[in-house]
Amino acid sequence: MTKKINDIGLFYLPLVVLPGESTTLHVFEARYKALIKESIDEEKPFGILLPLKMNREYGSLVRVNKITKSYHDGRFDVEIIGEDVFRHVQNIDNNDSLYDNAEIEPVKRERSKINDDLLNAYFEYSVKQLKHDPSYSFSKNMSIYELANKCELTMMEKYKLISTPQAKLQQNILLNHLNIVNALFKQEEALKQKFYLN
């Protein structure tokens, strides 16, 4: 059974940060400035959870990497890195805190090798879209999140990924995304070629 973690600070945002992914937050609310300061001072992670009107059972456990910019009025930009995925169990009453605290449960995923269909779809994507060298080989031992971080997923695709427990289904999510992107790229190339020939 996965051990629950008590008293993790929450930052509500329409954002999903995958493990290993880095992004920047612009922090201006007093409660979130307090959360980030505590996270830095105590060297502990905090949770990013979708806003109330959105599906918010799962969230991203992130850690502050560094403050990248400070403003004269107290606002600042901070770089964060995804550390894990969690299931939100319940909020905890903490009158001493400016921000919400929660009990969470880290989500442990089964790990499996990337299947050939997904690897081939990513190879096509990386060569045509990312302009990688075709001689570059990709490891089947990549984690699903390592691969997902290279695929420019939408927020809802990322949420679907972190809320899906089975490795096979997670790979199908990425495969469907890459098949659509690759098909659109082929259509664009065909249209360009047709325009050139005319």
pLDDT band at 96 (very low <50, low <70, confident <90, very high): confident
pLDDT tens digits for range 141-178? 888 999 999 988 999 999 999 999 888 999 999 999 99
pLDDT tens digits for range 116-141? 999 999 998 888 877 777 677 677 78
3-state secondary structure of 80: strand
For the chain, give the mean pLDDT.
87
pLDDT for res 93:
80
pLDDT band at 11 (very low <50, low <70, confident <90, very high): very high
Sign of CA dihedral 96, 102, 103, 109: negative
pLDDT for res 36:
96
> What pTM, to 2 d.p., does this model score?
0.86
Fold of 5-106: 2.30.130
Phi, psi of 62 (to 5 degrees): -130, 165
pLDDT at residue 188 is higher than 80: no
pLDDT band at 193 (very low <50, low <70, confident <90, very high): low
- Lowest pLDDT segment from 8-17, 100-109, 168-177: 100-109
pLDDT at residue 13 is higher than 90: yes
Domain extent listing, the chain: 5-106, 116-197
How far apart CA 28 and CA 121 sit, in angstroms, is 41
Paired sense of beta strands 22-27 and 5-12, if any: unpaired
How far apart CA 28 and CA 61 sit, in angstroms, is 20
pLDDT at residue 4 is higher than 80: no
